[in-house]
Amino acid sequence: MRPQSTLHMVGALVAVTLGTFSLVGCHRSRDPDRARAPATEYREPSTQPETPAELRRLRASLQALPEHVEFDQRKMELGRQLFHDTALSIDNTLSCASCHDINRGGTDRRVSSLGVHGQVGPINSPTVFNSRYNFVQFWDGRAADLRAQAAGPVANPGEMGNTWPNVVATLARSPEYVAAFRDLYPGGGLTDVNIRDAIAVYEEALVTPAPVDRFLRGDDLALNDEQREGARLFESVGCTACHSGINIGGGSFQKMGAVRDYFALRGTPLTTADAGRFNVTHRDADQHFFKVPTLRHVAETGPWFHDGHATTLEDAVRTMGAVQLGRDLEAPQVQRIAAFLRALTGPIPAYATLPPST
C-alpha cells in the first residue's frame, strides 16, 4: 500500500461499527461476558405467514445489528487515516488495512498474513467488521478490547515490527497529525494511548447490517427460500449453540474439534498457533480452544478457520458439521446453510474507506 504522508480530514456520513473469518464450533464456554450492544431503533415487522419453529428459535438466539451506531465523527476520521497509514510499520510498507482490507471483507484473504520483510504470520487474520461485538479480540482472546488489540500488531516483530515510541516520533513530524490530536485529545495530544483510541473509534464504526438483520426484525421476505431453509438448518443442526448473539459468534471460547479430532483429520503437523487459548493461559484444559468467530461477512473472508485450511465456504460448513457437531451433512444441506451464511454480508459504510486525495 502506498504510504500516507498527510492527514485527510474529510467529512463522512454518520451512521454505522471492528478477527479472516472462520467457523469454529461449540463445546463449552469460557469467559462468557458479552460486549454491550447499542440500543436498536424499533421497527414494525412485516406482516408475513407464520414461520417454522426452527426460524422462531433462530430469531430468539440471534440479535439484529443496530441500523445506526453513534461515534465521534472527527475521531473516526482520524482513526481511519491512522488505520490506512503505513507510517505505523517500521519500514513504511504495512498499515492495519494491509491485513484488514475494507474492500476484501475486512481481511487479506490469505491463509496467514504477511509481516514486514515478507515474514509469513502464524495465523489467519480475522475480519475487522463488527469486531466491536466480540467479547475479546484475537483468536486466543489475549486482548480484552479493540484498544488493547491495536497495541499488538504495531509492536510485533513479525507483523509491523515497530515500537510505539518510534510511531509517536514519526507521526509527530506531521503538523496535521499534531494539530488533530491536540484538538481531539486536549488532555494528552499525540500519544500511543490516543493513537490506539482513535483507531478503535474507527473500528467501532464498522458495523454492517445485512439481510439477516431485517429478517431478525421480522421481515420474512428479507431472505429468499434457499436462505430461509439454510437458516432453518443452521438452527436445527445446532450451529446456534455457539454462533449466537448479535455477532452470530464472537461470544465464547470453544474447542476446535469438540466431537471429532479436527487436527487428526487435517493431517498436517501441529503448530504453535493450533494451541489456541493455551498460549495465553498455559492451562492444559485450554488446548485447541479459540474465540468463536463472528459469521458476519463469512462468505467474503476465506480461506477459513484459524489455519486457513478450508478453501471454500461449503468445505468450512461440512467440516464444522463433522468435527463440532458430529454430523455428516449432506450436499444439499451444506449448500443451503452456505446460502444462509451469504445473507450475513452487509454493505460497507460509505465512510469506511479513505476519501480521494485532494
The catalytic site residues sit at 159
Cell of 330: 449432506
Query: What is the DSSP code (8-state) at residue 42?
Result: P
DSSP 307: T
CA distance 297 to 116: 27
Beta bridge partners of 137: 143
Those residues whose C-beta lies under 8 Å from the C-beta of residue 25, and which sit 6 or more positions away, are 239, 242, 254, 256, 258, 292, 320, 323, 324, 325
Q: How far apart are CA 329 and CA 257, in angstroms?
A: 16
Q: Enter the C-alpha cell of residue 336.
A: 443451503
Q: Is the dihedral of CA 7, 114, 310, 284 positive or negative?
A: negative
Among left, alpha and beta (phi > 0; psi -120 to 50; other), residue 54 is alpha
Q: Are 256 and 288 in contact (CB under 8 A)?
A: yes
Helix or strand holding residue 255 (H, E): strand 253-255
CA angle 351/151/70 to nearest 5° reads 30
